[in-house]
Structure 1
Amino acid sequence: MSRPEPSHEDFTSRHAPMPIELPFDDEEASTDVDLRTQLVRFVIVGAFSGLLDFGLTILLQYGLDVPFWPAKSAGFILGTTTAYLINRRWTFRAAPSTLRFVAVILLYLVTYLVNTGIYTGLSHLWQETIVYSFLAYVVAQGTATVINFVVQRLVIFRIR
């Protein structure tokens, strides 16, 4: 007796297990979202994810005396994980893909190094206050966000 294949509602081919998915948008996946819509959605998601990132970073750094880079690392992981889960489904409306997920992990590794490096570097140059930490965060996050959007739009969410 053969076992029936597992049923997957949002994709038809078998592949490695995917990360947790959010039921954020029930419409059919499509990479045919125009640039303006993607940019507006990316900014909205980025602002929300940025609040999570910065909030956790400041809580750890100033509330719990965690050093610059571990505090920023934890904030970055929370923010980028949230951003990926929402952007994949809502901003870029892309179907799940193991190749795409691996590409996002590689991109996030690069943006992690850029983001955390800039934040830590500026934190060492400037006086350690919440105002200067916020400015360092804005510069680091702004740089990483531009890299992130360009690579996701032109490369990652074109992967089929």
Structure 2
Amino acid sequence: MDVFFRIIKFGLTGLLGMAIDFGATWLFKEKIKVNKYVANAIGFSLAVTNNYLINRAWTFQSTNMHWGTEFGKFLIVSLIGLGLNTFIIYLFHQRKNGTNFYAAKFFAIVIVFVWNFLANMLFTFK
């Protein structure tokens, strides 16, 4: 049952992260006119920092004194997630010609959620 509640907490944290990610991506892509993949990386990076802090304290209740190493692990998991995220967006937005950028991004977030939860539970916060 503990895993179920962790998934819920991770999901709620992820929703906040998704809002930060989408908001920052939109701001940088649409208003500041940054390349869509760079804007995606900025949004993702801001969300990662937020998600680490909340997941460390709330979802996984980590007491690891070596928070720098722990954040490094979280960052590695997140960077792999960013690679998956960007590849999925590229695949659906560029290669399929017609899939909306934000629809492709949403699909990528769902897939990366599963990766991030499992990797963080089994690697970062174990």
Kindly state the Cα deviation for residue 99 of structure 1 after the two structures are TM-superposed: 3.4
Alignment map for 1:140-155 (pairs within 5 Å): 140-155=108-123
1:90-114 per-position Cα deviation (integer Å, ceiling 9, x unaligned): 0000113243222212111211111
Larger relative helix fraction: 2
SS in 1 for 2:34: coil
**Aligned partner of 2:111: which letter?**
T
Alignment map for 1:1-160 (pairs within 5 Å): 34-96=2-64, 97=66, 98-124=68-94, 125-127=96-98, 132-158=100-126
d(CA) in 1 for partners of 2:116, 2:5: 16
Kindly state the Cα deviation for residue 142 of structure 1 after the two structures are TM-superposed: 1.1
Moved more, 107-116 or 117-126: 117-126
Structure 1, unaligned runs of 5 or more? 1-32
- Change over 3 Å in CA distance of 1:84–1:157 after alignment to 2: same
d(CA) in 2 for partners of 1:99, 1:151: 15
TM-score normalised per structure 1? 0.70
Kindly state the Cα deviation for residue 44 of structure 1 after the two structures are TM-superposed: 0.6
Query: 1:68, 1:123 within 8 Å by CA — same for their partners in 2?
Result: no
Query: 1:68, 1:120 within 8 Å by CA — same for their partners in 2?
Result: no
Larger-gyration structure (1/2): 1
- Change over 3 Å in CA distance of 1:117–1:108 after alignment to 2: same
Aligned residues: 123
d(CA) in 2 for partners of 1:80, 1:126: 29
d(CA) in 2 for partners of 1:101, 1:113: 18
RMSD: 1.8
